[in-house]
Amino acid sequence: MFNALTALPADPILGLLTQYRNDNHPQKIDLGVGVYKDPQGNTPILDCVKNAEQLRTDSETTKVYIGPTGSEQFNQLMSQLAFGSDHSALLADRVRTVSTPGGTGALRVAAEFIKQCNPDATIWVSDPTWANHTGLFEAAGLTVKTYPYYDYDSKTLKFEQMTNALKQVSKDDVVLLHACCHNPSGMDLTNAQWDEVIAIATQQGFTPLIDMAYQGFGDGIDDDAYGVRKMAQAVENMILCSSCSKNFGLYRERIGACTLVASNTAVANTAFSVLLYVIRCIYSMPPAHGAALVETILGTPALKQQWIDELTVMRDRINGNRQMLVDKLIENGVDHDFSFIAKQKGMFSFLGINAAQVKQLKQEHSIYMVDSSRMSIAGISEANVDYLAKSIKAVL
């Protein structure tokens, strides 16, 4: 059976990581992998997580299954984090949340759930979007199409083209939107633009699927959830996929959540039963450890405040890195306008150079990013930004 297979190309980001690790250049820079890094280039365990782990170790009494929905406390706290504790959808009992193996697991569960709802549904994703979105949805048997989003030339949002495209989407289809910190462009919708998109969603009747992998990394926990909260108030049906990898630093724990918002309690219960069937057929039971840490943090006032403080440090560092790179490029006499980098949000931005220049950065300067010039902003530091700016200038 295996002899019939044809080898598939390796993930380009994982391939870059291998090349970076094998590079002996003393000033090499990794701008490929999308994980948070501190000024020393490490991805630390948050202090609030360490404290929660100690509490978990002291209090855990069993490793028995926790059921396909995961921890009820985790699900409730994640719903409140996403929507706010007094959101109308929560008060009306329209929301159902399950724990999932990371944000990726949440997206795959959502895809299989959509397939149960409408096998012929098309899911519309932004151009560009996270590289794994298309594969996840196609693996579930869904048709994937794109709507205009990022203008590579002007480094702005193609908002008019985007809204014109969404006005043509069928009520039987699904539209994926990034809640904040758009991956890979860093170009987010403004609140006013969110309002327009929400109006189109209510008019067209399509189902919004919002991917929120970076809540708290853009402008703040509540600010980053603006579109999620307004959309849930306006539409009858919505799906939200959340991740705890970035904002809690729980990358390897693989914990996220998939949330359904339905028109009323009865529809929510029916949809929830289908969601549980989907879960049972994929992984049966979710991982428990990461969820236990998150619920301990969010459910303990002192730990929650510690998390908010640590999240603020991470967000401020990323935003500071953006401005630091722009300033250093100007300082080194680069006459190209890179000011757009400081205006964007989250972990990623396109540098805006071509694939040949990206290759030159790697081969001549040991600076690693994917061919599209998408760079991970967290890989920049005070120690390497001057070398990075000089290297960029050299390839322009």
Which residues belong to the active site?
Answer: 130, 211, 246
Beta strands in 265-329 (DSSP E): none
| Residue 38, Ramachandran bin (φ over 0: left; ψ between -120 and 50: alpha; else beta) | beta
Residue 292: strand, helix, or coil: helix
Q: How far is CA 349 from CA 81, 126, 307, in A?
A: 26, 15, 26
Write out the DSSP string of 138-192. HHTT-EEEEEE-EETTTTEE-HHHHHHHHTT--TTSEEEEESSS-TTT--PPPHH
> Rounded to an integer, what distance in angstroms lies between the CA atom of residue 290 and that of residue 250?
7
- Helix or strand (DSSP H, E) at 125: strand 122-127
Residue 99: strand, helix, or coil: strand
By the 8 A CB rule, do 125 and 146 touch? yes
List the structure tokens of 131. 């590289």
Taking each helix axis from N to C terminus, what angle separates 72-83 and 289-298, rounded to the nearest 10 degrees?
60
List the structure tokens of 274. 């289908």
- Helix or strand (DSSP H, E) at 238: strand 238-243
> Rounded to an integer, what distance in angstroms lies between the CA atom of residue 295 and that of residue 56?
10
